[in-house]
């Protein structure tokens, strides 16, 4: 490892960046340097612009594009102390798309399509608590607080702890699962000793359930989190409470689920129904 890379990593560690973010940012700067075959401290705004255009040409998704921009901006401003270059490292405008939402009936079909036992409980927990995949997989047995009917989500996104609701039905499912598997530390342990279930394994579990349920909507594990927020709003839970349960920093992030809540749409008046249209008359000769 080069001293420059180590310094970049140390700079992020000092600011308590997560291991996943550090890895992603280091990979982003490394791809930038590899594209030109030179050390990144020898590259400037013109090379950054050229690299950004190349990512656009390759059709890189905007999430990856902006994550790379974040890495480069941090690297130049923090590690190299060249903050004056930031105006020449712009973010890309990410298209605003609505998330895929499954109806409650489709969620039931999805859960029924999962293999009974660990796989089904895994998906039930993700949906019932609105968890991110990383939060789900890092749950420990001791995070289940049945006396207060909450699940402790420790060090979620932004290094924040929060509590998720624990329903009676989910508690019963978790207890049955524990009696069967007896997990010692991680609630959902993986194949490697002392490690939780891996994200790729979780994705395979989800996609298998999707196929068995016969769902045609494009869905991922994160869809269950979208469904949690939307179904909570449709059930009448106020926006602020949903924000807290989701662990969102800004209320605007949670408010986007109002755009996909059918409850909100059904409250709007039907303009066509309000028009004084004549009642259609059947053609002559027909009753």
Asked if 82 is an active-site residue, the reply is: no
> Exactly one of 73, 118, 120, 132 is catalytic; which is it?
132
Angle among Cα 203, 207, 211 to the nearest 5 degrees reads 170
Identified catalytic residue from 73, 138, 225, 231: 225
Catalytic residue among 7, 31, 248, 256: 248
User: Which phi-psi region, left, alpha or beta, contains residue 37 (left: φ > 0; alpha: ψ -120 to 50)?
Assistant: left
Sequential DSSP letters for 106-163? HHHHHHHHSPTTHHHHHHHHHHHHT--HHHHHT-BGGGEETTTTEEEEEEETTTEEEE
Confirm whether 257 is a catalytic residue: yes
Residue 132 is a catalytic residue: yes
Evaluate whether 185 touches 139 at the Cβ level (below 8 Å): no
Q: Which two tokens stand for residue 21?
A: 């973010």
Helix (H) or strand (E) holding 164: strand 160-165
Which residues does residue 62 pair with via DSSP β-bridges, in sequence order?
Answer: none
- Angle (CA) 25-78-34 rounded to 5° is 45
Q: Which one from 25, 76, 127, 257 is the annotated catalytic residue?
A: 257
Active site residue 226: no
Query: Would you call 279 helix, strand, or coil by DSSP?
Result: coil
Active-site pick, 7, 212, 222, 256: 222
Report which of 102, 115, 110 is spatially closest to residue 211, judged by C-alpha positions.
110
Is 222 among the residues known to form the active site?
yes
CA 171 – CA 151 distance, rounded (Å): 10
Name the catalytic one among 157, 181, 212, 256. 157
Catalytic (active-site) positions: 132, 157, 222, 225, 248, 257
């Amino acid at each position: 490892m080069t001293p420059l890379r180590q310094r970049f990593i140390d700079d992020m560690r000092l600011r308590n960046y997560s291991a996943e973010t550090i890895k992603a940012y280091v990979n982003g700067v490394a791809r930038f340097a590899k594209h030109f075959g030179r050390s990144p401290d020898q590259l400037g705004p013109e090379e950054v612009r050229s690299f950004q255009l190349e990512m656009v040409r390759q059709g890189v998704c905007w999430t990856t594009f902006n994550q790379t921009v974040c890495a480069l901006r941090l690297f130049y401003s923090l590690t190299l102390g060249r903050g004056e270059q930031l105006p020449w490292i712009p973010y890309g405008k990410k298209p605003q798309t609505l998330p895929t939402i499954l109806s409650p009936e489709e969620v039931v079909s999805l859960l029924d399509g999962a293999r009974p036992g660990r796989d089904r409980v895994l998906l039930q927990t993700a949906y019932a608590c609105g968890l991110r995949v990383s939060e789900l997989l890092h749950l420990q047995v001791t995070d289940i607080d049945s006396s207060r009917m909450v699940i402790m989500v420790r060090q979620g996104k932004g290094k924040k702890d929060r509590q998720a609701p624990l329903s009676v039905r989910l508690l019963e499912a978790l207890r049955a699962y524990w009696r069967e598997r007896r997990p010692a530390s991680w609630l959902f342990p993986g194949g490697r000793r002392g490690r939780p279930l891996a994200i790729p394994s979780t994705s395979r579990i989800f996609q298998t359930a999707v196929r068995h349920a016969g769902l045609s909507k494009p869905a991922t594990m994160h869809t269950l989190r979208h469904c949690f927020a939307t179904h909570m709003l449709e059930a009448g839970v106020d926006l602020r409470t949903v924000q807290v349960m989701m662990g969102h920093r800004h209320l605007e992030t949670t408010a986007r689920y109002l755009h996909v809540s059918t409850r909100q749409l059904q409250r709007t008046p039907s303009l066509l129904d309000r028009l004084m249209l004549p009642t259609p008359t059947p053609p002559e000769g027909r009753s």
